[in-house]
Amino acid sequence: MTKKVLVVDDDPDVRSFVVTVLEENQYMPLVAQDGVEGLEMIEKHKPDLVILDVLMPRGSGIRLYRKLKTNENLEKIPIIMFTGIALRSFLKSQRALDEFKGGEVPKPDIYLEKPVEPEELAAAIKKKLG
Amino acid sequence: MKIRKLLFVTKFEDLCYDALNSLLALKTAALEHVVFLNVIERDKVAMQRGSGYLKEEEVKLKETANIRFIDWAENLFEMGMEVGAYIEVSTLIPEILKVVKKESPDLIVIGRSHKGALEQLYAGSDVIELIRRTDTPILVFKHMMDDNIVPEKLFERPLFATNWSKTGKKAVAYIKAMKNVIGEIHVMHVVKESALKSPDTHEVQKVRKAERQRLDKLCDELEEAGINARSHVYVGDPQKEIEKAAKEYQATMIILGSSDKAAILERWVGSVSKNIADKSVFPCFLIPGEKNIDQ
């Protein structure tokens, strides 16, 4: 069965780029343009993988990542972070939220800083989905 | 009335990270979410004879803004804050209103209008246009002025000019919600010269005393809420006197509520608030009345 991959990114050019890579590699792309829509899509479609931006309107990828990793029904969904925000800042923000909100979330398995070549993105997706 | 989310509208020439940084004091009150908005005015990328729509220019401007926002967002994310960003080719005020509808911020932060005198005369000020069309409080940030008066501690010593309207009461609620940030507040009321009907000194002093007592009562209310407050009565032209008091007490910002009455809205917004928001060297925190929205 074709695996579903949700792309959560506010930039239409980035969504288009990722969707093209997904289609070329025989995955079924789903798209959302912000954190709120992203969570709705995840709950509705239970994708096999989420490709997640960080800086977006209506809910950042940082909060969405945290919501997913602290939800026992959704925590197993693999996530590729795909963003212009530095990994260092992402990790610091999660540490700050760990202190503030309690709990601890795992580091993302794959963190890609934009821009990346299509091959690099495809390789990351294959690594998670096979 | 807590400020949990603010919308930071920037063209980069007027508001930069240092301005944002001075607002982060609000974290100790309730601030947890900052939304950036950069509006690229349509005329910068509009169709031009010979070159058509300037798509490359649009991409360049968007990417430049994106790089700035990423840099700022990294700093805020590292503090554990939530950040969002919009970069749109549009017209400033309608775009702000669109984002306000989507995000429901508690405060809009905007730089002073840089329109020329002639343009302002015909098109009006962006700030005033915004006050008329939103019921969200607005902080008009004054920065990169010649005298660079904007302090690092924006909330250290605000001046609250009350006209005793309902919106003034709303302003008091906002002030109380910022008690952890405000150092000392100066509360003032300007008695218009026309209100001093009698030339008799005794009568004039009676008016002053009554206003002073009213202000003192307000100061007591603020002190009960945990904010040090001092009262001042001025007489004369409200705009000039508010500006004068702000200078005398080295205010770090001016807090103003606009009138609730539609009939006098234009007079208030169109004179005191407008002139202070547009021309004062001090940052202005404007709290619009409930009925200000033009439909």
Whole-number Å distance between alpha carbons of A107 and B202:
74
Strands (E), A15-55: 28-32, 49-52
Residue B196 in domain: yes
Residue B167: the pLDDT is 83
A55/B85 touch (CB, cutoff 8 Å), yes or no: yes
Return the H-helix or E-strand segment holding A79: strand A79-83
Residues in chain B: 295
What 8-state DSSP symbol labels residue B249?
T
Which residues on chain B are in Cβ contact (under 8 Å) with A85?
70, 73-74, 77
Task: Determine the Cα–Cα distance for residues B86 and A60; give it in Å rounded to an integer.
Answer: 12
pLDDT per position as a tens digit, A77-123: 999 999 999 999 999 999 999 888 777 899 998 999 999 999 999 99
**B260 in Cβ contact with B110 (< 8 Å):** no
The stretch A4-28 carries a mean pLDDT of: 97
Strands in B1-136 per DSSP E: 5-9, 33-41, 82-90, 107-111
B264 within some domain: yes
Q: Are the Cβ atoms of A92 and B77 closer than 8 angstroms?
A: yes
**Of residues B69, B80, B84, nearest to A58 (C-beta):** B84
Q: Which residues pair with B257 in a beta bridge?
A: B287
Q: Give me the total of CB pairs closer than 8 Å, taking one residue from chain A and one from chain B.
A: 57
Q: What is the CATH number of the domain that holds B259?
A: 3.40.50.620
pLDDT at B263: 42
Give chain B's domain count. Answer: 1
A91 touches chain B (CB under 8 A): no
Residue in B75, B79, B103 nearest the CB of A57: B103
Predicted local distance difference test score (pLDDT) of residue B267: 47
Rounded to two decimals, the pTM is: 0.89
A99 shares contact with chain B (CB less than 8 Å): yes
* Assigned CATH class of A4-125: alpha beta
Partner-chain contact A89 B84, CB within 8 Å = no
Residue B170 lies in a domain: yes
Q: Judge whether residue A8 has pLDDT over 80.
A: yes
- Choose the mutation target among A14, A55, A100, A111 for the interface with B, i.e. most B CBs under 10 Å: A55
**From first to last of its 295 residues, what are the pLDDT tens digits of chain B?**
889 999 999 988 777 788 888 899 999 889 999 999 999 988 777 766 666 777 788 888 999 999 999 999 999 999 999 999 999 999 999 999 999 999 999 999 998 755 555 555 554 578 878 888 888 999 988 754 555 555 678 899 999 999 888 888 889 999 999 999 999 999 999 988 776 666 677 777 888 899 999 999 999 999 999 999 999 999 988 999 999 999 999 999 999 987 555 444 554 455 677 678 777 888 999 988 765 444 3
Q: What is the pLDDT of residue B205?
A: 82
**Closest Cβ opposite residue A60 in set B78, B79, B84:** B84
Q: Decide if B141 is inside a domain.
A: no
pLDDT at position B144: 44
**What is the predicted pLDDT for the residue at B290?**
66
Domain that holds residue B211: 156-282+291-295
Q: Is residue B122 part of a domain?
A: no
Contact at CB, A55 and B69, closer than 8 angstroms: yes
Q: Which of the residues B83, B88, B104 would you substitute to probe the A interface, choosing the one with the greatest number of A C-beta atoms within 10 Å?
A: B83
A97 close contact with B: CB closer than 8 A: yes
Where does B178-288 have alpha helices with state H? 201-224, 238-248, 262-267, 274-279
**Would you tell me the crossing angle of helices B126-133 and B92-103 to the nearest 10 degrees?**
40
What order of strands is seen across the sheet that includes strand A4-8?
A28-32, A4-8, A49-52, A79-83, A110-113
Q: Which residues of A touch B69 (CB under 8 A)?
A: 55
Do the Cβ atoms of A57 and B79 come within 8 Å? Answer: no
Which residue in B33, B77, B79, B100 has the most chain A C-beta atoms within 10 A of its own C-beta, making it the best mutation to test that interface?
B77
Give the domain ranges of chain A. Answer: 4-125
> Does residue A124 surpass a pLDDT of 90?
yes
